[in-house]
Structure 1
């Protein structure tokens, strides 16, 4: 079973929650009318794989806290609740949406088009990418950089929708 991930931009978490409620938690990138501007990126989780990209751009070692994220969906559990209660609990089953920190958006937005091949080559060295080539990663880097640029210009943040 693979992890599905989509990255998209929105003004704030309230907009994201409204779109997800209308889509019954489904990806805001699916359907005949895409609700939000985004990029489909199967398997590129925000903490590790996107974190490896951010590390490649910044030319620093990867760290677990390199990409800051805040849960947006499902809603925050009520106070005093420690975790999932049953197999139908959305915290256990997903989907999940995380708001990414502005530093991640700005790092991706700052990738000049002419540097995309070099960034992709550095990113391709990440063990989690299982030997992907720099050439195959160039379009992903370009798509994520473009999304981040549009988000920064609009004053939006980046979000990651994840589902098993």
Structure 2
């Protein structure tokens, strides 16, 4: 089972919740995307995206490097016994998290001439399995461009996640 992840920008969490209430499927891509975003299959925010942020900042990855806050579902997460309820949105997804401003700004602030070097470091992350940096470069450039548009518009970055 693969994890689907999309990154997008939005003015605030309320706009994301309104969009999810209308249709909880993908918010980017397709013919009529709800938000400006990037499809980034299997690039979870806390490990794989955080590896890119660490590479940009030239620092080691750590578990709390990318801070995020849940936006969707809007209900309280269930206790351990509730995780067995197959109808609970916390079990089934999709989920949306808001990424911290520091992550947006790290991506947005990397100089263009340093992107290939950062991507080469990112490609060495164990979670990426030795992928060729040339394969990752277009995705990194898309994520960086998205972060730059978000910062210029005063918006936040969000991650939509689905199993």
2:33 corresponding residue in structure 1:
34
1:7 to 2:7 alignment: yes
Once superposed, which parts of structure 1, at least 4 consecutive aligned residues long, lie more than 6 Å away? none
Q: CA deviation at 1:136?
A: 0.7
- 3-state secondary structure, aligned to 2:46: coil
Show the 5 A alignment for 1:9-158: 9-23=9-23, 25-77=24-76, 81-82=78-79, 83-84=82-83, 86-158=85-157
| Cα separation, 1, equivalents of 2:136 and 2:58 | 17
| Cα separation, 1, equivalents of 2:8 and 2:37 | 4
| Cα separation, 1, equivalents of 2:57 and 2:30 | 35
Q: CA deviation at 1:20?
A: 1.2
- 3-state secondary structure, aligned to 2:140: helix
| Cα separation, 1, equivalents of 2:34 and 2:123 | 31
| Cα separation, 1, equivalents of 2:55 and 2:31 | 35
- 3-state secondary structure, aligned to 1:47: helix
| Cα separation, 2, equivalents of 1:114 and 1:30 | 28
Moved more, 111-120 or 62-71: 111-120
Q: CA deviation at 1:133?
A: 0.9
Q: Which has the higher helix share?
A: 2
Per the normalisation by structure 1, the TM-score is 0.94
Mark the runs of 5 or more structure 2 residues left unpaired by the alignment. none
Are the counterparts in 1 of residues 29 and 39 from structure 2 also a CA contact under 8 Å? Answer: no
The count of corresponding residues between Structure 1 and Structure 2 is 161
